[in-house]
Amino acid sequence: MVLLIDNYDSFTYNLYQYIGKYEKNIKVVRNDEITIEEIEDLNPDHIVISPGPKSPKEAGICIEVIKHFHDKIPILGICLGHQCIGAAFGAEITYAKQLVHGKASKIFHKGIGVFSGIENPMQGARYHSLAVRLDTIPDCFEIAAMTEDEEVMSIIHKEYPLIGLQFHPESIYTPDGIKIIKKFLEKERVIC
C-alpha cells in the first residue's frame, strides 16, 4: 500500500493517478488528519509526500513522518515534500534563486537511484518559490540533480530510500516523470 500525504495541493490527484498505474492500493490523507500511530497501523510499503502551497513548518505531520519512518519505509517528497525532507535533516529552506511557477527547466542529474536510465539533462516542471539551500544540505544526502543555475532539484539519502524532488514528476511538463515514480515504487522497505 502507498500512503499519499496530501499537503492541500491541486497536484495530489495527478500523483494518485501516476502511482495508480503501478499500485492499486493507495490511501490519501491530509497532512493534519493522521497520526504517526495511525500510519504505523496502516503499515504502508511506500510514503509519498505531496507538493503544497506553504512551507515545511506549515506542512502538518510531514516532518515528523520523515523523521520517524525514513529508516523504515521508502519516502518520496515532491516540491514541498522535498523541502520537508531537507528541513527534517536540518537544511535551510530559503527563497529560490528564481520564482518559477508552471515552467519547464533543464535538470541535470547524476543518473543514480530514480534517475537511472533517465535522459540527461531531463525536462522537469517547476512550481516553487522556496528551495533547499545547497550549502546547508547535510552530508548524509547525495545532491542528485540541479538546474543550470545550481538550484537543488533532488536529494537522495546515501543510506536509506529517502528521495526528494523539487520538480514535479506528475506534471505533463516532465516527460520522464512517470518513469521516476515507477522507479521509486520499485524500492523495497528497509529490513529492520
Determine which helix (DSSP H) or strand (DSSP E) holds 185, and give its type and residue range.
Answer: helix 177-185
Dist. CA 27–CA 47, nearest whole Å: 10
Catalytic pick among 46, 62, 128, 170: 170
Q: Three cell numbers at 164?
A: 526528494
Reported residue count of the chain is 192
Q: For residue 9, which of 134, 171, 132 has the smallest C-alpha distance?
A: 171
Q: Do β-strands 152-157 and 162-165 pair in parallel, antiparallel, or remain unpaired? A: antiparallel
Catalytic residue, chosen from 46, 70, 79, 84, is 79
In the annotation, is 79 catalytic?
yes
- Give the active site residue among 82, 109, 128, 168: 168
CA dist list (Å): 47 to 68, 102, 103: 12, 25, 26
d(Cα 123, Cα 120) in Å, to the nearest integer? 9
Q: Which letter does DSSP use for residue 120 in this model?
A: S
The answer to whether 140 is a known catalytic residue is no
What DSSP assignment string belongs to 53-106? SS-GGGSTTHHHHHHHHTTTS-EEEETHHHHHHHHHTTPPEEEEEEEEEEEEEE
Q: List residues with catalytic annotation.
A: 79, 168, 170
